[in-house]
Amino acid sequence: MRGPVLLCLACLVAALGLWSAPTPQAEPAQPGLPNILLITIDTLRADHLSSYGYHKKTTPRIDQLASDGVRFEKVHTTIPLTGPSHVSLFTSRYPQEHGARINGTAPPRNSRWLSLPQVLGRFGYHSAAFVSAWPLIGRLTQLNRWFDEYDAEMTRKYDVMHSSRYAEDVTPVVSRWLDRNKGAEKPFFLWVHYFDPHSPYDLKKDYEELEPSGHEKRGPDPLNREMANRIRNYDSEIAFTDEHVGKLLDKLDRLGLRDSTLVVLTADHGEGLGEHGYVGHGRWLDDGIVHVPLIFRYPGKLPAGQVVSENVSLLDVAPTVIELAGVAEMAKTTQPLSFAGRSLAGPMMGGEALPARPMRYVAFAGRKGFAPGWMSWMWSRKSALPLRLGMTTGSDKLVWTPGENKLAVIDTEKDPFERSPHILDGGDQLYQRQTASLQRWFDSTDLEESELEISDRDAEVLKSLGYLK
């Protein structure tokens, strides 16, 4: 039996190769391409930035970045988990499409989807990444396959076994990298990931007392002293990270790279701070968890101080960057691109209308175990529905919890803090109609399983985080 089994496996691998995306072959750098700096701040909910209306001045440097560029008001992540969200950011595909559904998993090596750094590399970009937390280490996410340089040197510990590094650790390393690469022949694509606003919410003493921003306080008061302290500490970490974002932007200025660099700032997901009895992220789809900031700055190309109020997704970042970099049309002729998101360049540069479309996002439950990706040929795969599926259309929001036969219906214009959702059950016709639509969408995008290469220590960390049981 061994011979036929191996033959079947070889045939399957060959067949997969017919649709798997090849790595684009690099060409000499095109003249006039901008440098690109992508900053992602872990666990940064949009409504705690002063540029997004927060009543405390948490982000003066990010606020200035927004004043110098374009700020998107209503941005949705695809999934409130660090690893899968960043994979979606780079591939412009939902987690069930690219395969990385929970932290500790990666897209398969024969993935059909090209990533942003792969596409940019086709046009001569030199790519470098500096990540600051365990969920993004290359061994687990395989994101390092897409970058020329991948720096994941963690210097700190949190919760006993989890590795990370602080903004004060990563900014100097990135600054030295910029010094070395400021005059390089190739343009750079530089991704800098900050982790500081993530739990355990360490108070940064220098930012304990923040000035008023001038915006009116919105939302309910903290439910108790513990929640108030949590919010104070979280805000202080945002302000601390903001200082280091400012230092990074100042470095661009000192090196004379400001006008030739497209800067993009966003977050992988937000954070529940206790408003609905939930602290953290990963399994809930409240707006504080799925609503993230998004800012583009490109001097001379993008208008300053523009605000876009339509709903957009993190899926839109990759196609937008490719178009703003000036390689979108060339990319179409040399390597077919397939994105679930859309470019936002037109609405930013030419004031084009942004047609309304549903924003969708998912949350997956932890898994009880893992099997190597190479064994998947042995069974017919059918993934279960996510723990929760969410959709926002205009101001209407739906959150479906299939395991509980519960659908929350929210008008975010009338109920912006989601305090009084209308709950429907399986006997309601609206429930049946809306959940059938969500089911069809998920089934049509449920394309890929993840690949996993974990050590015993990784498995223990997964268990401690609730991803492996």
- Last-in-domain residue among 304, 324, 349: 349
Please name the helix (run of DSSP H) or strand (run of DSSP E) that holds residue 299, with its range, or none: none
* CA-closest candidate to residue 129, choices 193, 82, 47: 193
E strand spans, 180-283: 188-194, 261-266, 272-273, 279-280
Residue 413 above 90 pLDDT? yes
Same domain flag for 129 and 26: yes
Give mean pLDDT, residues 377-401.
Answer: 79
Tens-digit pLDDT profile for residues 321-334? 999 999 887 777 76
For 217, other C-beta atoms within 10 Å of its C-beta total 11
Same domain flag for 249 and 168: yes
Tens-digit pLDDT profile for residues 2-41? 344 333 333 333 333 333 344 444 455 565 899 999 999 9
In the chain, what percentage of residues exceed pLDDT 70?
Answer: 83
- Residue 190 banded pLDDT, cuts 50, 70, 90: very high
Tens-digit pLDDT profile for residues 151-184? 998 877 655 455 788 899 999 999 999 999 988 8
Determine whether 428 is exposed, middle or buried from the number of CB atoms within 10 Å of its CB (0-12, 13-18, 19+): middle
- Residue 140 banded pLDDT, cuts 50, 70, 90: confident
Q: Positive or negative CA dihedral for 78, 82, 88, 89?
A: positive
Whether residue 398 lies inside any domain: the answer is yes
Give mean pLDDT, residues 456-468.
Answer: 51
Same domain flag for 339 and 364: no
Angle at 291 between CA 346 and CA 260, to 5 degrees: 40
Between 213-217, 218-222, 375-379, the lowest mean confidence (pLDDT) is in 375-379
Task: State phi, psi for 52 to the nearest 5 degrees.
Answer: -105, 15
Same domain flag for 329 and 382: no
Q: What is the pLDDT, as a whole number, of residue 255?
A: 97
Whether residue 10 lies inside any domain: the answer is no
Whether residue 6 lies inside any domain: the answer is no
Q: What is the pLDDT, as a whole number, of residue 219?
A: 82
Q: Which amino acid is at 457?
A: R
Whether residue 7 lies inside any domain: the answer is no
Q: What is the pLDDT, as a whole number, of residue 184?
A: 84
Between 149-158, 206-215, 242-251, 456-465, the lowest mean confidence (pLDDT) is in 456-465
Whether residue 12 lies inside any domain: the answer is no
Same domain flag for 122 and 239: yes
The domain spanning residue 187 has which CATH number?
3.40.720.10
Distances (CA, A) of 414 to 406, 410, 418, 420: 21, 8, 9, 10
Whole-angstrom distance between the N-terminal and C-terminal Cα of the chain? 34
Whether residue 13 lies inside any domain: the answer is no
Same domain flag for 329 and 399: no
Q: What is the pLDDT, as a whole number, of residue 187?
A: 96
d(C-alpha 196, C-alpha 271), whole Å: 13
Q: What is the pLDDT, as a whole number, of residue 335?
A: 66
d(C-alpha 383, C-alpha 450), whole Å: 11
* CA-closest candidate to residue 114, choices 40, 30, 24: 24
Same domain flag for 204 and 264: yes
Residue 376 above 60 pLDDT? no
Tokens of 113: 């989807």
Distances (CA, A) of 196 to 70, 412, 431: 24, 29, 39
Please name the helix (run of DSSP H) or strand (run of DSSP E) that holds residue 360, with its range, or none: strand 359-363
Same domain flag for 383 and 333: no
Distances (CA, A) of 325 to 76, 91, 318, 319: 23, 16, 11, 10
* CA-closest candidate to residue 188, choices 252, 250, 92: 252
Same domain flag for 186 and 291: yes
- Residue 352 banded pLDDT, cuts 50, 70, 90: confident
Residues 82 and 269 sit within 8 Å (Cβ to Cβ): yes
Per the structure, the complete domain to which residue 136 belongs is given by 19-349
Determine whether 247 is exposed, middle or buried from the number of CB atoms within 10 Å of its CB (0-12, 13-18, 19+): middle
> Residue by residue, what is the 3-state secondary structure of 147-187?
CCEEECCCCEEECCCEEECCHHHHHHHHHHHHHHHCCCCCC
Give mean pLDDT, residues 228-234.
Answer: 96
Same domain flag for 106 and 88: yes
Residue 286 above 70 pLDDT? yes
Whether residue 320 lies inside any domain: the answer is yes
Residue 381 above 90 pLDDT? no
d(C-alpha 450, C-alpha 73), whole Å: 32
Residue 430 above 90 pLDDT? yes
Determine whether 401 is exposed, middle or buried from the number of CB atoms within 10 Å of its CB (0-12, 13-18, 19+): buried
- Residue 108 banded pLDDT, cuts 50, 70, 90: confident
Residue 274 above 50 pLDDT? yes
Same domain flag for 340 and 441: no
Q: What is the pLDDT, as a whole number, of residue 382?
A: 44
| Pairwise pLDDT comparison (245 vs 449), residue with the higher score | 245
Give mean pLDDT, residues 122-130.
Answer: 96
Q: What is the pLDDT, as a whole number, of residue 158?
A: 55
- Last-in-domain residue among 349, 379, 399: 349
Whether residue 339 lies inside any domain: the answer is yes
Same domain flag for 166 and 227: yes
- Last-in-domain residue among 326, 349, 372: 349
Residues 328 and 310 sit within 8 Å (Cβ to Cβ): no
Between 292-296, 381-385, 460-464, the lowest mean confidence (pLDDT) is in 460-464
Q: Helix (H, G, I), strand (E, B), or coil: what is residue 460?
A: helix
In the chain, what percentage of residues exceed pLDDT 90?
Answer: 67
Q: How many domains does the chain have?
A: 2
- pTM exceeds 0.85 for this model: yes
Q: What is the pLDDT, as a whole number, of residue 8?
A: 39
Residue 402 above 50 pLDDT? yes
Task: State phi, psi for 331 to the nearest 5 degrees.
Answer: -65, -35
Tens-digit pLDDT profile for residues 50-105? 999 999 999 999 999 999 999 999 999 999 999 999 999 999 999 999 988 888 88
Q: Can you state the angle between helices 167-181 and 225-254, rounded to 10 degrees?
A: 10
Q: Can you state the angle between helices 317-324 and 82-91, rounded to 10 degrees?
A: 40
